[in-house]
């Protein structure tokens, strides 16, 4: 378990931070941007949870924990294949992605079919989940960019891709099963 005794260390005062393996990199490094945006995704889920309860809140709580796992995965260079077997890095797993897929399927089966693109909004929870969706898409773009220049756990890309899908169907669920979705009307204001 992590134990923090001090919040500030002053070690980042010159614009560098330590990765999970101790390597120091600039704070604007793509890897730091990727896991920082995963952290931002987690924070906006925290705001969404102010409007959730029951099974939805339980799902969001599990996802928040997963996102800390994902951040730990991304802050440790490598794809996991060369991790020290005595002290392997924390990596996101296929089981976590599969759980998202199962939840997506279970939610989506009860939604009204889409007849147009959905505009973010409706209920407060739905609006916040759409913010989560867009921030997680930004995290995905950064993770894919990182994967193009450095080895990462491929499950990280799959997980973050499923997360935005999950937030989309959950946002529709929060809008009365899609009945209260606000639909895009192409050319409406021409």
Q: What is the pLDDT of residues 47-76, one digit of tens each?
A: 999 999 999 999 999 999 999 999 999 999
Q: Is pLDDT at 166 greater than 80 in this prediction? A: yes
pLDDT of residue 159: 98
| Mean pLDDT of the 72-87 span | 92
Largest CA distance in the chain: 63
> How far is 190 from 180, CA to CA, in rounded Å?
24
Q: Residue 17: beta bridge partners?
A: 25
Q: Where are the alpha helices (DSSP H) in the chain?
A: 30-48, 54-75, 94-108, 124-149, 154-174
CATH annotation of 26-81+90-179: 1.20.1200.10
The residues spanned by each domain of the chain are: 26-81+90-179
| Residue 14 pLDDT class (50, 70, 90 cuts) | confident
Which of 106, 110, 131 has the alpha carbon at shortest distance from 50?
131
Rounded to 10 degrees, the C-alpha dihedral 93/70/50/117 comes to: -80
* pLDDT interval class at 5 (50, 70, 90): confident
Cα dihedral: 5, 92, 103, 166 (round 10): 80
Residue 46's closest CA among 64, 30, 28? Answer: 64
For residue 18, give both structure tokens. 């330590």
133: closest CA among 95, 173, 94?
173
Does the pLDDT at position 1 exceed 70? no
- Render pLDDT for 17-55 as a digit per residue (tens, 0 to 9): 999 999 999 999 999 999 999 999 999 999 999 999 999
């Amino acid at each position: 378990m992590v134990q923090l005794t001090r919040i500030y260390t002053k070690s980042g005062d010159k614009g560098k931070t330590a990765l999970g393996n101790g390597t120091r990199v600039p704070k604007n490094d793509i890897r730091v941007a990727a896991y920082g945006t995963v952290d931002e995704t987690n924070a906006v889920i925290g705001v969404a949870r102010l409007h959730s309860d029951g099974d939805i809140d339980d799902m969001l709580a599990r996802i928040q924990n997963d996102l800390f796992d994902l951040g730990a995965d991304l802050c440790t260079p490598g794809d996991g294949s060369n991790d020290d077997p005595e002290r392997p890095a924390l990596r996101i797993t296929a089981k976590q992605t599969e759980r998202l897929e199962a939840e997506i399927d279970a939610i989506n089966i009860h939604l009204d079919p889409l007849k147009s693109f959905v505009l973010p909004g409706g209920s407060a929870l739905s609006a916040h989940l759409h913010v989560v969706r867009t921030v997680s898409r930004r995290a995905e773009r950064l993770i894919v960019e990182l994967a193009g220049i450095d080895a990462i756990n491929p499950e990280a890309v799959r997980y973050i891709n499923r997360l935005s899908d999950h937030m989309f169907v959950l946002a529709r669920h929060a809008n009365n099963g899609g009945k209260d979705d606000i639909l895009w009307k192409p050319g409406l204001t021409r």
